[in-house]
């Protein structure tokens, strides 16, 4: 049976799960050949398929960059994935549960790059010089695996559970910001469900950006000027229900409020 598996098949299964809103067991349980490299190859095929379907790549995201996320998912190393225009939720536009499987939300610090960033050898300081603006972010993740249960190659192939994201309208210059100390409060229906500061993300979100540039370079890719970079959930991700109002509020980056229906 395992002879039937290919990276194309992995990508197609995950795309079907996304469009049919069905979850499934880990692919690594069925195909031990899905290692980390095959996972990234499958992610690449999945993104090519989305592009052929009319999606435009708008940037990259990091996943599992904070201890809160790593602990929740039982995986202790960060990963990268690709974000497209069809994932963008404009502020105020609801998260529609009918379009998703079992969405969770997480606050993120978001960069928009003014310059192309290409590894290897990128440090947090050089990474920060490529950043044009910093924004509040809210990511909606929606694993195509049952109960969000996956090994690293599974989640890499699944484009790191990507589904939707909101970039806050407030655009803040990186100069004079201390992103390690930038605080965030996640509220559902006004009740605080989690809090964290930017230091939760690899010590500083710029470290996550550098990590992405260097990891992509190892696969022959760079982060283009104009890219949106989601630096990774800074708190644990939380489930949402019909009628909820989700709010992420940051010290300097502003607030995003999104209804759920
Ligand atoms: C994987 C996606 C991780 C993040 O910010 O950590 C991610 C998952 O938790 O399902 O987007
Ligand atoms: Mg995320």
- For the chain, the structural domain boundaries read 2-259
Does this complex have an ipTM over 0.85? yes
pLDDT at 92: 81
CA–centroid distance, 105 to ligand 2, in Å, is: 8
Quick check: 1 pLDDT over 80?
no
CA–centroid distance, 9 to ligand 2, in Å, is: 25
Neighbours of 91 (CB within 10 A): 14
Determine the Cα–Cα distance for residues 182 and 252; give it in Å rounded to an integer. Answer: 7
The pLDDT tens digits of the residues spanning 142-199 come to 999 999 999 999 999 999 999 999 999 999 999 999 999 999 999 999 999 999 999 9
For residues 210 and 111, is the Cβ–Cβ distance under 8 A?
Answer: no
Residue 63 backbone class (left: φ over 0; alpha: ψ -120 to 50; beta: rest): beta
**Ligand 1, atom 2, residue with closest C-alpha:** 160
Q: Which atom of ligand 1 is nearest to the CA of 143?
A: 10
Quick check: 2 pLDDT over 90?
no
The pLDDT tens digits of the residues spanning 80-139 come to 999 999 999 997 899 999 999 999 999 999 999 999 999 999 999 999 999 999 999 999
DSSP strand E in the chain: where? 57-63, 79-84, 104-113, 131-141, 162-167, 183-188, 191-197, 228-230, 238-239, 245-250, 255-259
Give the three-state DSSP class for 49. Answer: helix
Q: Which atom of ligand 1 is nearest to the CA of 155?
A: 1
Which CATH superfamily does the domain covering 2-259 fall into? Fumarylacetoacetase-like, C-terminal domain (3.90.850.10)
CA torsion sign, 235 to 38 to 84 to 24? negative
Q: Which of 154, 138, 72, 141 is nearest to 103 (CA)?
A: 141
CA–centroid distance, 156 to ligand 2, in Å, is: 13
Burial state string for 17-49 with b = 16 or more CB within 10 A and e = fewer than 16? bbeeeebbebbbebbeebeeebbbbbbbbbbee
Determine the Cα–Cα distance for residues 212 and 185; give it in Å rounded to an integer. Answer: 25
What is the number of the ligand closest to the CA of 64?
A: 1
């Amino acid at each position: 049976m395992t002879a039937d598996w290919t990276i194309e098949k992995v990508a197609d299964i995950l795309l079907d799960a996304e469009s049919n809103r069905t979850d499934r067991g880990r692919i690594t349980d069925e195909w031990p050949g899905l290692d980390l490299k095959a996972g990234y190859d499958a992610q690449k095929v999945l993104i090519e398929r989305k592009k052929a379907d009319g999606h435009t790549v708008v940037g990259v995201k990091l996943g599992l960059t904070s201890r809160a996320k790593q602990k929740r998912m039982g995986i202790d190393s960060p990963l990268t994935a690709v974000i497209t225009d069809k994932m963008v939720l404009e502020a105020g536009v609801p998260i529609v549960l009918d379009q998703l499987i079992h969405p969770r939300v997480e606050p993120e610090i978001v960069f928009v790059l003014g310059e192309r960033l290409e590894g290897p050898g990128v440090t947090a300081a050089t990474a920060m010089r490529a950043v044009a603006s910093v924004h509040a972010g809210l990511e909606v993740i929606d694993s195509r695996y049952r109960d969000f249960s996956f090994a690293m190659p599974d989640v890499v192939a699944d484009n790191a559970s990507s589904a939707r994201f909101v970039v806050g309208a407030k655009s803040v210059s990186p100069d004079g910001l201390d992103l390690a100390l930038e605080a965030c409060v996640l509220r559902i229906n006004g009740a605080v469900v989690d809090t964290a500061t930017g230091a939760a993300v690899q010590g500083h979100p710029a470290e996550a950006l550098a990590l992405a540039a260097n990891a992509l370079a190892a696969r022959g890719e760079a982060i283009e000027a104009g890219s949106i970079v989601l630096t990774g959930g800074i708190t644990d991700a939380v489930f949402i229900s019909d009628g909820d109002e989700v709010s992420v509020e940051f010290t300097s980056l502003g607030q995003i409020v999104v209804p759920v229906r």
